């Protein structure tokens, strides 16, 4: 696992950024620590000082990605926001991540396709608890009359993940269908708008405050 300390604040992210690119391009089996060291312009010994093995570095790369995604959901999918505001904030930040860092999302996709050996505990404990908390938020919105009840909230989260991460994981397919050499910002915005129209089908207008009604 990564060691902590002041000099590491810039070095560890530097290593993880390089690892993200190398693991994404070559997978766990094909990536070498030497390649990651060259990519971040550090001696191999320095990389192994902060991350003892390639396995440790790979797991840290995956966990940084997952933590980032979970933090975004914790912030946006919370009772402090109304559903439409919450979902738009969450979807936009997920789509922005797919646009800026498609390699990170692809590493996670490759890991799942290969059996998820390095993230099984994380998925079955941390992610499962995270989803349970999001379900509680959805239940709260339903009790407030802000969301419909005729859908499965867990599968709703699955669909939010798949729709937003497809713009990274399936980008080769998307650009081929669009007839382009790469995704443009307008394509991501079109994706956001389309996903929001689908999300709107389970959201209800915010109820007007009683005090406002009495004042009319």
Q: Is residue 191 part of a domain?
A: yes
Q: Is residue 33 part of a domain?
A: no
Q: Is residue 183 part of a domain?
A: yes
Q: Is residue 193 part of a domain?
A: yes
What would the pLDDT profile of 168-213 be if each residue is shown by its tens digit?
999 999 999 999 999 999 999 999 999 999 999 999 886 544 334 3
Whole-number pLDDT of residue 205: 80
In the three-class reduction of DSSP (H, G, I as helix; E, B as strand; rest coil), residue 200 is classed as helix
Domain count of the chain? 1
Q: Is residue 35 part of a domain?
A: no
**Is the backbone of residue 4 left (phi > 0), alpha (psi -120 to 50) or beta?**
beta
Nearest in space to 98 (alpha carbons), one of 107, 88, 87: 107
pLDDT at 49 over 90: yes
Q: Is residue 113 part of a domain?
A: yes
Q: How confident is the model at residue 8 (pLDDT cuts 50, 70, 90)?
A: low
What would the pLDDT profile of 114-171 be if each residue is shown by its tens digit?
999 999 999 999 999 999 999 999 999 999 999 999 999 999 999 999 999 999 999 9
Whole-number pLDDT of residue 211: 39
Which CATH number goes with the domain that contains 197? 1.10.357.10
Instruction: Give a three-class secondary structure readout of the chain.
Output: CCCCCCCHHHHHHHHHHHHHHHHHHHHHHHCCHHHHHHHCCCCHHHHHHHCCCHHHHHHHHHHHHHHHHHHHHHHHCCCCCCHHHHHHHHHHHHHHHHHHCHHHHHHHHHHHHCCCCCCHHHHHHHHHHHHHHHHHHHHHHHHCCCECCCCCHHHHHHHHHHHHHHHHHCHHHHHHHHCCCCCCHHHHHHHHHHHHHHHHHHECCCCCCHHHHHHC
Range of the domain at 97: 62-204
Q: Is residue 53 part of a domain?
A: no
């Amino acid at each position: 696992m990564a060691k902590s300390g002041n000099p590491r604040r810039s070095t560890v992210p530097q290593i993880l950024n390089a690892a993200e690119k190398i693991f994404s391009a070559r997978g766990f089996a094909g990536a070498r620590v030497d390649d990651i060291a060259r990519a971040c312009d550090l001696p191999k010994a320095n990389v192994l000082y902060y991350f003892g093995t390639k396995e440790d570095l790979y797991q840290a790369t995956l966990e940084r990605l997952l933590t980032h995604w979970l933090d975004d959901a914790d912030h946006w999918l919370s009772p402090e926001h109304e559903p439409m505001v919450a979902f738009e904030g969450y979807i936009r930040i997920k789509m922005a991540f797919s646009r800026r860092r498609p390699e990170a999302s692809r590493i996670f996709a490759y890991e799942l396709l290969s059996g998820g050996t390095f993230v099984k505990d994380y998925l079955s404990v941390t992610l499962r608890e995270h989803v349970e908390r999001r379900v509680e938020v959805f239940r709260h919105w339903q009790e407030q009359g802000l969301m419909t009840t005729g859908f499965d909230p867990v599968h709703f989260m699955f669909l939010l993940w798949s729709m937003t991460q497809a713009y990274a994981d399936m980008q080769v397919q998307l650009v081929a269908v669009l007839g382009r050499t790469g995704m443009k910002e307008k394509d991501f915005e079109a994706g956001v708008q389309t996903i929001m129209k689908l999300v709107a089908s389970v959201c209800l207008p915010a109820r007007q405050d009683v005090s406002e009604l009495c004042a009319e």
